[in-house]
């Protein structure tokens, strides 16, 4: 299950920032390493909210810097 | 005929676009996360001269523009600020055109807010002619106050 989520989120990110999924390593920084901008970050957030039916509080936006942090956030929100 | 919530003069107070680039004529529904606007497509539209001389079809990019302009009305309504704001288009995704729009058609442009955080947002638009969907797109944008 955990790996499933990782792969799903990796594919969501890859599609939005137009990179190959394998380039999205867990700790690659979305902005600094992968060239995402704030608009892409919001699109990733919206795609995640839609897919997992969660609401990400606005104050968490700045924490979503990598695949790993996004994955952890989704897992935490799903638990609630 | 559906009653306007906003007429063209109200729309012109919100949108910075002017002739020949106003792509909505009337707003018939305005809620906090949804707007519905109308656009009457006339044979006199200047783009029909070239698009195309032999077969008049409203350019798809201008349907996207209509979605964007309805989106400005929606976001402006949420913002509740007197400051003049400029909107920048950042991305168009999931766009699809189902049927050509031709002179005489009335576009019904339905736009929903997907996400809006501080100065960036995403809207989703669907465009109908006689209740048949002719186009759809998701638009990302940023806002600057001046």
pLDDT interval class at A2 (50, 70, 90) = low
Residue B9 φ/ψ, nearest 5 degrees:
-70, -35
CB B107 within 8 A of CB B134: yes
Mean per-residue pLDDT of chain B: 95
B17, two tokens: 């676009």
Rounded to 5°, angle at Cα B91 from B58 and A37: 170
Q: Is residue B115 part of a domain?
A: yes
| Residue A33: pLDDT over 90 | yes
Q: Is residue B2 part of a domain?
A: no
For B122, the closest of A42, A58, A61 (CB atoms) is A42
Q: Is residue B122 part of a domain?
A: yes
Determine the residue of chain A that is closest to B117 in CA distance: A58
Domain that holds residue B33: 8-145
Residue B5 CA neighbour count, 13 Å, CB half: 15
Give mean pLDDT, residues B84-113.
96
pLDDT interval class at B76 (50, 70, 90) = very high
| Residue A1: pLDDT over 60 | no
Contact B91 A39 (CB under 8 A): yes
pTM (two decimals): 0.91
| Residue A5: pLDDT over 60 | yes
Give mean pLDDT, residues B80-106.
93
Give mean pLDDT, residues B96-107.
98
Instruction: Tell whether A49 is within 8 A of chain B (Cβ).
Output: yes
| Residue B115: pLDDT over 60 | yes
pLDDT at residue B4, rounded to an integer: 83
Q: Greater confidence, B84 or B81?
A: B84
| d(C-alpha B64, C-alpha B70), whole Å | 10
- Of A24-33, A71-80, B136-145, the range with the lowest mean pLDDT is A71-80
CATH of the domain at B136: 3.10.129.10
Gyration radius from chain A CA atoms: 11
For A46, the closest of B90, B118, B122 (CB atoms) is B122
pLDDT interval class at A63 (50, 70, 90) = confident
Q: Is residue B23 part of a domain?
A: yes
Domains annotated on chain A, with CATH = 2-79 (1.10.1200.10)
Give mean pLDDT, residues B64-71.
98
Q: Count how many residues are written for chain A.
A: 80
Contact B121 A42 (CB under 8 A): yes
Instruction: Tell whether B121 is within 8 A of chain A (Cβ).
Output: yes
How many domains does chain B fold into? 1
Contact A61 B90 (CB under 8 A): no
pLDDT digits (tens, 9 = 90+) for B3-40: 789 999 999 999 999 999 999 999 999 999 999 999 99
pLDDT interval class at B80 (50, 70, 90) = confident
Residues 6+ apart with CB under 8 A from B79: B85, B143
Give mean pLDDT, residues B67-71.
98
pLDDT interval class at B1 (50, 70, 90) = low
Give mean pLDDT, residues A52-70.
90
Contact A39 B117 (CB under 8 A): no
Q: Is residue B1 part of a domain?
A: no
CB A13 within 8 A of CB A32: no
């Amino acid at each position: 299950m955990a790996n499933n989520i990782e792969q799903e989120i990796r594919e969501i990110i890859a599609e939005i920032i137009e990179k190959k999924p394998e380039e999205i390593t867990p700790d690659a920084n979305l902005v600094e390493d992968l060239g995402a901008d704030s608009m892409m970050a919001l699109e990733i957030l919206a795609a995640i909210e839609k897919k997992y039916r969660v609401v990400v509080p606005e104050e968490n936006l700045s924490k979503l810097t990598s695949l790993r942090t996004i994955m952890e956030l989704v897992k935490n929100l799903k638990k609630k | 005929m559906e009653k306007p919530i906003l007429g063209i003069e109200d729309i012109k107070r919100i949108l910075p676009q002017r002739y020949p680039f106003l792509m909505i004529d009337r707003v018939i529904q305005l809620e906090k996360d949804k707007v519905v606007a109308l656009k009457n497509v006339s044979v006199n539209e200047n783009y029909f001269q070239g698009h195309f001389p032999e077969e008049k079809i409203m350019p798809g990019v201008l349907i996207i523009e209509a979605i964007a302009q309805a989106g400005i009305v929606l976001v402006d309504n949420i913002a509740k600020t007197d400051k003049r704001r400029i909107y920048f288009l950042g991305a168009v995704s999931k766009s699809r055109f189902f049927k050509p729009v031709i002179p005489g058609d009335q576009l019904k442009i339905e736009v929903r807010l997907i996400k809006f955080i501080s100065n960036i947002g995403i809207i989703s638009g669907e465009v109908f002619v006689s209740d048949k969907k002719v186009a759809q797109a998701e638009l990302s944008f940023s806002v600057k106050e001046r």
